[in-house]
Amino acid sequence: MNFPELMGLAFVGLFLGLMLGSAFYYRNRPAPFVRQIPAFGRVRRAIGLAVEAGSRLHLSLGRGNLISTRSAVAFVGLSILDRIARSAAASDRPPVATSGESTLAILSQDTLHDASKFMGADYDPLRGQLTGLTPFSYAAGAASLIHDEATGASLLLGSFGSEVALITEAGDRTESLTLAGTDNLTGQAVLYATAQEPLIGEETYAGGAYMGAGGMHQASLIAQDIFRWVIILALLVGAVLKLVGVL
Amino acid sequence: MGNYPGSLGWGSPETGWCSVKFPFSVAVAIGIGLITLAGYFLNIPVLQTLRMALIEWATTLAAVALLVGIANLFTIHWNKLTSGKVGGLYSAILIVSLVLTLGVVGWFGPTHTYSKWIFNNVQLPVEGSLLALLAIILVVAGVRLLRLRSNMLSIIFIITAMVILLATGPLFGISVPGLTELRSWIAQVPAMAGARGLLLGIGLGIVAAGLRVLIGSDRPYRG
């Protein structure tokens, strides 16, 4: 094993250890909280209002291929889908999920099915939809669903490119709240300009912790925060060492 | 410093700490995940062969899932068409296009002239027009941004976008001194620094999401 592989393995091991340690240590006590993300508070309120008003909630999972790193953000989206499907299970119009990748569509159906079963509600497999297989056909299909169903709130959590503007525009036209986060830098720039509640960088991956998707989401957020400060410190030390000529 | 909305645990809020059931699908997911991860880091031929075989299986399964996805797309639009919902005409167009494309590509093959004709004369123009629409939406969104969030970050965002656009596109032969240099500086210094910061955050998020799936805490596959 060479040095970079060893470092990679050590990094993953430390991260996992920190996650499990945090989950164990804080299992019966309040965990430290680093900062508030107001967007998630507004989304929780919007979900409550949508359930009361009987309007549809929509969650889009993007086009992340399951066998690439682009699927990680969709996993966060699926955790949040599970939470909102349970919260809105009693609604006349339960949540729908759209995606631009067939494996994600199947996983969204599975998540909705599981949540419906848990809450004892009816399940319709067509609530997990594949709206298109190319970026623009997917966005056009999701935009059409937002318009036709007059959704109360749309959560876009997945891998999106610039085509996501078509979806946020549909949300804007139906005057529904749009919270959106992606792992794609182009998509993030577009979302900053078009979404009502854009999530920047790692905020997208913190979604599960803020939406109450389980203790391990919060534990992994603690690990992410600690590692972010470690990386910042390492960068600063590296820059100083480079400046003084040691590196 | 505030508090998280509750104490932590392993599973979902409903299952709580350590009251986790591990069905067969979870065991398979964890086992395969560990083998693939170990094959990536450890230079052991058996593990690497296993890892490659598992990735090939996943690719094959993803291809099968594509067929399931197409069936899902067809069913949704068939239901929309037969139930007389708004937009039924568009669903009819989609179903006819889907059946025709499948027929032509299935009969003649994907590289045949007819298949290429469909791609070049139907799909490309439709997607091209959506791209043009996207450009207009982005311009409108840029203007609307100042109304939506009129803060310093939004102003910097708009000014930067305008500088990059002016320096990238032709200005009818007019040369603004320093504009190209300013564009290069923005792209190479603040934009690059910001992008690296975002990518580091995203990288940490990917590791966290992957590990949650690997230890069976997140189960998007259920079971």
CA dihedral (B114, B118, B121, B122) in degrees, to 10, reads 160
Confidence at residue A36, expressed as pLDDT on a 0 to 100 scale: 79
If asked whether residues A197 and A106 sit together in one domain, one would say: yes
Average pLDDT over residues A97-112: 94
If asked whether residues A106 and A197 sit together in one domain, one would say: yes
Asked whether residue A203 carries a pLDDT value surpassing 80, the answer given is yes
Q: Ranked by mean pLDDT, which of A41-55, A175-189, B162-176 comes out on top?
A: A175-189
If asked whether residues A221 and A207 sit together in one domain, one would say: no
Burial of A25 (0-12, 13-18, 19+ CB in 10 A): middle
Asked whether residue A25 carries a pLDDT value surpassing 80, the answer given is yes
If asked whether residues A219 and A199 sit together in one domain, one would say: no
With b for 16 or more beta-carbon neighbours within 10 A and e for fewer, the B82-108 pattern comes to eeeeeeeebbeebbeeeeeeeebbeee
By C-alpha distance, which of A101, A103, A65, A59 is closest to A81? A59
Within 8 A of A106 by CB-CB distance, chain B residues are 65, 68-69
Domain membership of residue A63 as a residue range: 34-213
Asked whether residue B21 carries a pLDDT value surpassing 70, the answer given is no
Q: Does residue A159 fall inside a structural domain?
A: yes
Summarize pLDDT for B117-136 with one digit per residue, the tens.
999 999 999 999 999 999 99
Asked whether residue B1 carries a pLDDT value surpassing 60, the answer given is no
Q: Does residue A99 fall inside a structural domain?
A: yes
By C-alpha distance, which of B79, B122, B78, B72 is closest to B100? B122
Identify the CATH number of the domain in which residue A79 sits. 3.40.50
If asked whether residues A221 and A175 sit together in one domain, one would say: no
Contact B9 A9 (CB under 8 A): no
Q: How far is CA A80 from the centre of its chain?
A: 7
**Residues 14-73, chain B: which have Cβ within 8 Å of A?**
14, 17, 37, 41-43, 55, 58-59, 61-62, 65-70, 72-73
Q: Does residue A223 fall inside a structural domain?
A: yes
Give the pairing of strands A153-159 and A128-130: unpaired
Confidence at residue B87, expressed as pLDDT on a 0 to 100 scale: 79
Asked whether residue B173 carries a pLDDT value surpassing 60, the answer given is yes
Asked whether residue B75 carries a pLDDT value surpassing 80, the answer given is yes
Asked whether residue B199 carries a pLDDT value surpassing 80, the answer given is yes
Using N-to-C axis directions, what is the helix angle for A164-173 and A135-149, rounded to 10°?
10
Asked whether residue B26 carries a pLDDT value surpassing 80, the answer given is yes
Average pLDDT over residues B196-210: 93
* Distance of residue B138 Cα from the nearest chain A Cα, in angstroms: 7
- Which pLDDT band holds residue A34 (cuts at 50, 70, 90)? low
If asked whether residues A206 and A84 sit together in one domain, one would say: yes
Within 8 A of B68 by CB-CB distance, chain A residues are 102, 105-106
Lowest mean pLDDT among A27-41, A131-145, B59-73, B182-196: A27-41
If asked whether residues A108 and A198 sit together in one domain, one would say: yes
If asked whether residues A188 and A237 sit together in one domain, one would say: no
If asked whether residues A128 and A102 sit together in one domain, one would say: yes
Three-point CA angle A138, A139, A143, nearest 5°: 120
Q: Does residue A236 fall inside a structural domain?
A: yes
Asked whether residue B9 carries a pLDDT value surpassing 60, the answer given is no
Within 8 A of B58 by CB-CB distance, chain A residues are 66-67
Within 8 A of B150 by CB-CB distance, chain A residues are none
* Distance of residue B204 Cα from the nearest chain A Cα, in angstroms: 6
Confidence at residue B222, expressed as pLDDT on a 0 to 100 scale: 65
Beta carbon pairs, A and B, within 8 Å: 250
Nearest by CB to B66, which of A102, A192, A231?
A102
Q: Does residue A220 fall inside a structural domain?
A: yes
Q: Are B101 and A137 in contact (CB under 8 A)?
A: no
- Residue-averaged pLDDT of chain A: 90
Burial of A94 (0-12, 13-18, 19+ CB in 10 A): buried
If asked whether residues A220 and A131 sit together in one domain, one would say: no
Nearest by CB to B72, which of A1, A105, A228?
A105
* Distance of residue A64 Cα from the nearest chain B Cα, in angstroms: 12
Nearest by CB to B72, which of A129, A136, A227?
A129
Confidence at residue A215, expressed as pLDDT on a 0 to 100 scale: 85
Asked whether residue B77 carries a pLDDT value surpassing 90, the answer given is yes
Using N-to-C axis directions, what is the helix angle for B124-148 and A185-194, rounded to 10°?
50
Nearest by CB to B8, which of A23, A66, A101?
A23
Beta bridge partners of A180: A156, A198
Lowest mean pLDDT among A26-40, A130-144, B183-197: A26-40
Q: Does residue A138 fall inside a structural domain?
A: yes
Confidence at residue A61, expressed as pLDDT on a 0 to 100 scale: 95
Asked whether residue B184 carries a pLDDT value surpassing 70, the answer given is yes
Within 8 A of A36 by CB-CB distance, chain B residues are 2
If asked whether residues A163 and A113 sit together in one domain, one would say: yes
Contact A188 B4 (CB under 8 A): no
Confidence at residue B143, expressed as pLDDT on a 0 to 100 scale: 87
Confidence at residue A42, expressed as pLDDT on a 0 to 100 scale: 87
User: Complex ipTM above 0.95?
Assistant: no
Nearest CA in chain B to A198: B149
**Residues 103-142, chain B: which have Cβ within 8 Å of A?**
123, 126-127, 130-131, 133-134, 137-138, 141-142
Within 8 A of B30 by CB-CB distance, chain A residues are none
Within 8 A of A218 by CB-CB distance, chain B residues are 4, 8
Q: Does residue A110 fall inside a structural domain?
A: yes
B155 touches chain A (CB under 8 A): no
Q: Does residue A232 fall inside a structural domain?
A: yes
Asked whether residue B5 carries a pLDDT value surpassing 50, the answer given is no
- Give how many domains chain A has, as a whole number: 2
- Which pLDDT band holds residue B50 (cuts at 50, 70, 90)? very high
Confidence at residue A199, expressed as pLDDT on a 0 to 100 scale: 93
Contact B42 A16 (CB under 8 A): no
Asked whether residue B7 carries a pLDDT value surpassing 50, the answer given is no
- Which pLDDT band holds residue B20 (cuts at 50, 70, 90)? low
If asked whether residues A115 and A150 sit together in one domain, one would say: yes
